[in-house]
Structure 1
Amino acid sequence: MMIVAIDGPAAAGKGTLAKRLAAALGLPYLDTGILYRATAKRVLEAGASPADAEAALHAARALTQSDLQRADLRDAATSAAASQVASIPEVRQALLDFQRHFGNSHGAVLDGRDIGTIIFPHADVKLFVTASVEARAERRHKEFLARGETVNLADVIADVQARDEADRTRAAAPLMKAPDAELIDTTGMDADTAFTHALDVIRRKTAKLESKTFSL
């Protein structure tokens, strides 16, 4: 049973990469960011503020599988609200058990902000996927346009920068690279190159683990 933890900032390409790796390795995949987006959507639809800890905690505890499968969790408003609810310690604690149970059941590839540092600090493989602010903002901008949303690129850049700052400075599980995580900068990589590189890293690391186990 293997756990692959993939962390990194917004729009670095970790979600696309994680899905492909899960398929290649025959492992379940969990986008942990969806948990926070679904929580944020519940809060917004209840007419509450995403900064309201009590409302956010109630929403997190009430999540159902259908909440995670909604097609409207990646709009700009939900993205901004998700960053706010994710900074609430009680919400993160409420969703921690869900994530650990998912990974411990059959192994998994999980991507998020604190998988390798908090959720699975002893993951078999840890990757930290990042890219320049400009590259990530351009990717996010294209996603918005593809969904028919009219968003100014400058606004997207500002939003990415603000989200990075919030992720890095929040008191609860701030975004950071685990000391033993492999850094993958996708700024100049296409999806295929990033996938090939990540798969090579995983094979190398798991080969070392198997070698150590055999020697014991």
Structure 2
Amino acid sequence: MNKITIAIDGFSSTGKSTVAKRLAKALGYIYVDSGAMYRAVTLYAMQNDLIKKDCFDKQQLIAQLKDIKISFKFNEELGFAEVYLNGQNVEKTIRTLEVSQFVSQVATVSEVREQLVFQQQNLGKDKGVVMDGRDIGTVVFPEAKLKLFMTASAEQRAQRRYDELIERGDDVKFDDVLKNVQSRDHIDSTREDSPLMKAEDAIEVDNSNLNLDEQFELIYNLAKDKISESN
């Protein structure tokens, strides 16, 4: 049976990664979290004092891109691949609100995007991949057989993100999470290089009123239909 490439784009905290992981597992495909790659670069920048609340040394980050090695290693216990930055497991660290506050700024740097898009295209060159992010269907895999664009209200997305962080034990306030979601929406949608936008042939999925199972069933059926068409 022929395998296809599935691109899932959308706003932050729409559950792209959650459904993409589940979809990849159900189809026996490889899952790639492109957002985690940008988060890993952001964490590197933070660790090396290249980005702070009041400054961002883009040129130094660009100069050090060659020193940033990002990899994914499958964790059988968890059932998905975790992110490693220069050999260190950073899966939990990159999901913090602190990293979220800077990741959209880092993602605006053309040199960062160029390097990560190259890596992402290599990961998906043999198809049989589910990848989520901001520009997967428009830039990374414009020829993807199935493109999805996920959306929901900012308040709904902030509530989901807040619940997730609280469950992890993070000390956060809902208003701060909402402001972060709104700020990221603005930066992601207005950046010059590969702004967040719905591909012309993408199917929009508004999951504001869908639970995880309903959302998965909808997307899984769309994927099965596209796979059938390709055989």
Normalised to the residue count of structure 1, the TM-score between the two structures is 0.92
The 5 A counterparts of 1:106-145 are 106-145=127-166
CA displacement, residues 46-65 of structure 1 (integer Å, 9 cap, x when unaligned): 01126322233245432232
- The code of the aligned residue for 2:62 comes to L
CA distance in 1, matches of 2:102, 2:175: 19
Distance 1:30 1:121 in 2: 16
Q: Which has the higher strand share?
A: 2
* Post-superposition CA distance 1:52-96 (Å, at most 9, x none): 222332454322323184121111111111111101111100111
Task: Structure 1: give runs of 5+ residues left out of the alignment.
Answer: 211-216
Post-superposition Cα deviations, 1:76-127, rounded to whole Å, max 9, x if no partner, equal: 1111111111011111001111000001145310000000000000001101
Residue 153 (structure 2) pairs with residue 153 (structure 1): no
**1:3/1:125 contact within 8 Å kept:** yes
| Cα displacement string for residues 156-187 of structure 1 (whole angstroms, at most 9, x for unaligned residues) | 11111111010000001000010101111111
Q: Which runs of 5+ in 2 are unaligned?
A: 72-83
What letter corresponds to residue 95 of structure 1 in structure 2?
L
Map 1:45-194 to 2 at 5 A.
45-49=47-51, 51-61=56-66, 62-65=68-71, 66-67=84-85, 69-70=89-90, 71-194=92-215
**For residues 59 and 197 of structure 1, what CA distance do their matches in structure 2 show?**
42
Supply the distance in 2 between the matched residues of 1:106 and 1:82 (Cα, whole angstroms).
27
Alignment of 1:199-210 (within 5 A): 199-210=220-231
The answer as to whether partners of 2:7 and 2:147 remain within 8 angstroms in 1 is: yes
1:36 correspondence with 2:38: yes
Q: 1:214: which partner in 2?
A: none
Q: How far is the alpha carbon of 1:194 from its aligned partner?
A: 0.4
User: Within 2, Cα distance between the matches of 1:105 and 1:72?
Assistant: 30
Higher helix share: 1
**Is the 1:32–1:99 Cα contact (8 Å) retained in structure 2?**
yes
**SS of 2:130's equivalent?**
strand
Aligned partner of 2:76 in structure 1 is: none
What is the CA–CA distance in structure 2 between the aligned matches of 1:168 and 1:86, rounded to whole Å?
A: 11
Q: 1:58 to 1:76 in 2, by over 3 A?
A: farther
Letter in 2 for 1:63: K
2:100–2:180 contact (8 Å) kept in structure 1 = no
User: Counterparts of 1:5 and 1:69 in 2: how far apart (Å)?
Assistant: 25
RMSD over aligned Cα, in angstroms?
1.5
State how far apart, in whole Å, the 1-side matches of 2:70 and 2:16 are. 24
Q: Which residue is equivalent to 1:213? A: none
From the superposition, tell whether residues 59 and 199 of structure 1 become closer, same or farther in structure 2 (CA, over 3 Å).
farther
**Equivalent pair of 2:5/2:127 in contact (CA under 8 Å):** no
Q: Give the percent of matched residue pairs that are identical in Structure 1 and Structure 2.
A: 39
